[in-house]
Amino acid sequence: MNKEKRNIQPHADKEVKHLMVLLDKSQASEFKKMVPELQDTWVKKQMFRTETEMRFSVLSDNKYGTKAAKYWQSVREQNTHFENLMHLSFDYRKNDVEIKKIQREIKMEKDPLEKEMKQVELEEKLFGRAGMELVAKARMREISTWSKLKKEFHDGKFDDRDVNTHQAESYMHQLEQKKLTLTPGSSQPEVFNVLGQLETLKRVRQSGELKYDGANRKSISKKQNS
């Protein structure tokens, strides 16, 4: 994508004269001087999560304590951005068609006020297009980063085709971590939910109900008997 397509400075420059209606003359003048800075701010603003946030916030060790758990959460996150990028692509194409239609209508319109209104709509669509291009760039960055993380966590020691395979071990770790946060002041529903799920998962794993379970059942038995 050409960087010029994401350049909003021409839109901002053109809008200064209209901002005179909204702003004082001195404020409009200040805005005009700040346009290059605002263009820079608009381009580099954070839209989605950084890799730092992905690692410590999304893939926190207390919630996703194994490489398999981190890998599969990365799959979910990457897919969310992929689907959103696809929907954005459809919206972008529709917006482009609407731009062409408005441009055609402007050429054919005889009424000066209607033509002026359509020009405003056109400029709004063009600004919206620039925003979509920026969002697309940010979503693609997330998709690429999640791809990098998937490769990092994939050590070849877990099933990367069936998410169910790792979940008993992953949820066991997560519930044990939640149990450690319970205090005498924890609400009854919270305690009931955490302990209830934890004990049920232990029973299900011991009973052999699960087709897949990557953890050592003997170690679970020791924990229960301790």
Each residue's pLDDT expressed in tens, for the chain with a length of 226 residues = 455 555 656 666 667 677 777 888 888 889 888 988 988 898 899 999 999 999 999 999 999 999 999 999 999 999 999 999 999 999 999 999 999 999 999 999 999 999 999 999 999 999 999 999 999 999 999 999 999 999 999 999 999 999 999 999 999 999 999 999 999 999 999 999 999 999 999 999 999 888 766 544 333 333 334 3
Q: Which of 12, 6, 18 is nearest to 37 (CA)?
A: 12
Which class for 68: exposed (0-12), middle (13-18), buried (19 or more C-beta within 10 A)? Answer: buried
Predicted structure pTM score: 0.81
Q: Count of CB atoms within 10 A of residue 40's CB?
A: 11
- Whether the Cβ atoms of residue 166 and residue 205 lie closer than 8 Å to each other: no
CA angle centred on 92, ends 88 and 94, rounded to 5°: 120
Rounded Cα distance between 120 and 125, Å, is: 9
Q: Which of 117, 130, 121 is nearest to 100 (CA)?
A: 121
